[in-house]
Structures are given as structure tokens and as C-alpha cells.
Amino acid sequence: MVTSDHVQYVSAALVIVACVQLVACAAVRAGRAARVFEAASGSSVAAACLLTLLARGTYFPRQVTSTALVVAWGARLSRFLYARPLEREVINVFMRIVWSMLCALPVIICNTQQRERYRTTAGECAGVFVALAALCLEHVSDSQKQRWHARHAQRPTRADVEPPVCAVGLWRYSRHPNLFFELLFHWSIYVIVRPVEAPFVVLSPVALTVLVLFFPGGVLTQELSRNAQYGLYPAYALYRKETPLFFPCPGVFRCFSACAPRATNILCLELTLFDD
């Protein structure tokens, strides 16, 4: 049930996120700190969650755990985005604010609880374990891709047997493992805070899934860009054929795709939409 406290704290968090994003955008427009805007994505989420926890003043296990996980995730993301080479893309402040609020929403709602009514369950403990694993694996996949780009300043040619994209480590099992583990992290946070009496918090992982799959910067745009660049490379075609798009399960993918190709394509998101 949505209460006035929920509205008050969500509004305060929205102001925090918007201020961080707008200040970072102003620095970019001034031509002085392009990396600041990139780093603001995770830091604004961490700031909103941490400040709502401190403002409420109650430190129940569910609140502290979920806040600590999101702060760690936001700090890691900001550090990674600040350190990586800058990419040429259109800066959409509105979309960044929406994305940041969706990431922070479950924890913000959890932090507005005045008293702890529920005992910790096995599902919540599993959610904490999965969130920690997803956080570590997302960092590993990002690091592997960053090292691959550093070693391959010159991309392979069509005649090379090596794919012209990162296909080592976790990238052998999924073409987008970093995005997969990011979504797994946010779904785990939802599992942790689910007992809170605010069913609408499921909007956060659902909307983030749609954003990651279909909106700019997500799976769809990355796949279309790669297909346009490397569609005629035999090594890339083989990599796309043998490696699942999203879920890191190549063995299961190949097994079921031989038995029920249509069902497998739908369940594993191997849709023609990503092949254009």
C-alpha cells in the first residue's frame, strides 16, 4: 500500500537523482568532465538509497542489506564507467534519471518502513547470495571485455578465425553476460525487499528488463550495431550461432534448439528482432 511516507521519500530520492544527473550533465556541456556524467549513473542510485536510509533512521536487517548491496553495485558501476574509454553517444538525461530511479525504487520503498514486520526467510537469504554472485560476475565480465579491447586495438579481419568481438571468459557463454548479471542483480534485490507491503516495486525489475533489452544502449542496439559491422565475418556468424544472446547456457541452448527451435528461440530471446 502506498503511503504519504512512500511518496515523500520517493520524491526526495527523485530530487537527489535529478540533481546529480543535471550537475554531471552541466559539467559535460561545459566540456570539462565528460566522464563525470558516465559515473553519475551509479553514484546517483547509491546516494538516493543511502540518504533515504539515513533519513528514516531505522536500520533493520532488510534495509541495511539491500542498501549496502545497491551502494556497492552503484560504486562499482560508477568506477567502471569513469575508467572506461569514452563512447560517442547522445546524452539523454531524462532516460538516465528514469533508469536511476527504477534501480533505486525497491530499496527506497524498503527504507521507508517504520518497523520490521517480517522475519528473514530462506528466499531472502538466497536473494542476497545471488545478488552478491551477480555483482561479482558482472564485474568479471566487464573486466574481461575491457582487457580484450585493450589487447585488440586492431579488430580481426574477415579472414581471421577469431571473432571481431569479445568472446573470451564469460563472453563464451553469452553475448551479453554483463547485462544478464546486471538484471539478475536487480531481480535479486526485488526478492530481498518483496515482503515489504508495496507490490508495485515489481515495476522496477520489469521495467529495467525492458530497458536493457530494447532501449538505446541495451541488447537490441548493440546487436544491430554488431550485425551491421561484422555480419559478413564468418567468425562472427559462427560466434552468434553457437553463443546464446542473453542467458549464459550454451549447452542447454544447443540441446533444446535442436529439439524445439521455436520454443527455444522465444525462451532464450533468440528473436528475429535482434537479427535485422
| CA dist., res. 232 & res. 159, Å (int) | 10
Please provide the average confidence, as pLDDT, over all residues in the chain: 78
| 175 in the same domain as 147 | yes
Q: Show the cell assigned to 50.
A: 543511502
DSSP, res 162: S
Please tell me whether residues 239 and 184 are part of one structural domain. Answer: yes
* Mean pLDDT of all residues in 137-161: 82
What pLDDT does 123 receive? Answer: 82
The whole-angstrom separation of Cα 72 and Cα 173 is: 26
Confidence band of 28 (pLDDT split at 50, 70, 90): low
Residues 88 and 147 in one domain: no
Of 21-30, 118-127, 153-162, 223-232, which has the strongest mean pLDDT? 223-232
Percent share of the chain, pLDDT over 70:
69
* Cell numbers at 27, concatenated: 559539467
Q: According to the model, what pLDDT value does residue 246 have?
A: 82
Shared domain check, 105 and 26: yes
Q: What is the pLDDT of residues 181-236, one digit of tens each?
A: 999 999 999 999 887 767 778 888 999 998 888 887 788 888 888 888 888 888 88
| Predicted local distance difference test score (pLDDT) of residue 250 | 62
Q: What is the mean pLDDT of residues 117-127?
A: 79
Res 249: pLDDT = 74
Domain boundary residue among 62, 85, 117? 117
**Mean pLDDT, residues 157-184:** 86
- Residues of the domain holding 77: 1-117
Q: Do 73 and 63 meet the contact criterion of CB atoms below 8 Å apart? A: no
Domain endpoint, select from 71, 99, 117: 117
More confidently predicted of 53 and 155 = 53
Indicate the number of domains in the chain. 2
Q: For residues 162 and 271, which has the higher predicted lDDT (pLDDT)?
A: 162
The predicted pLDDT at position 185 comes to 96
State the pLDDT at residue 182. 93
| Contact between residue 107 and residue 70 where contact means Cβ atoms under 8 Å apart | yes
Last residue of a domain, one of 84, 99, 117: 117
Q: Same domain, yes or no, for 108 and 152?
A: no
For residue 48, what pLDDT is reported?
84
What the block records as the C-alpha cell of 203 is: 515495476
Tell me the three cell numbers of residue 40: 553519475
246 contacts 174 by C-beta, under 8 angstroms: yes
Does pLDDT of 66 surpass 60?
Answer: yes
Instruction: Indicate whether 185 and 210 sit together in one domain.
Output: yes
Are residues 148 and 258 both part of a single domain?
A: yes
- In the structure, what pLDDT confidence band is assigned to residue 141 with cuts at 50, 70 and 90? very high
pLDDT at 90 over 60: no
Q: What is the residue-wise DSSP string for 177-228?
A: HHHHHHHHHHHHHHHHHTTSS-GGGGHHHHHHHHHHHHSTTSHHHHHHHHHH
Note the pLDDT of residue 276: 56
**Within 13 Å of residue 127, how many CA atoms lie on the same side as its CB?**
21
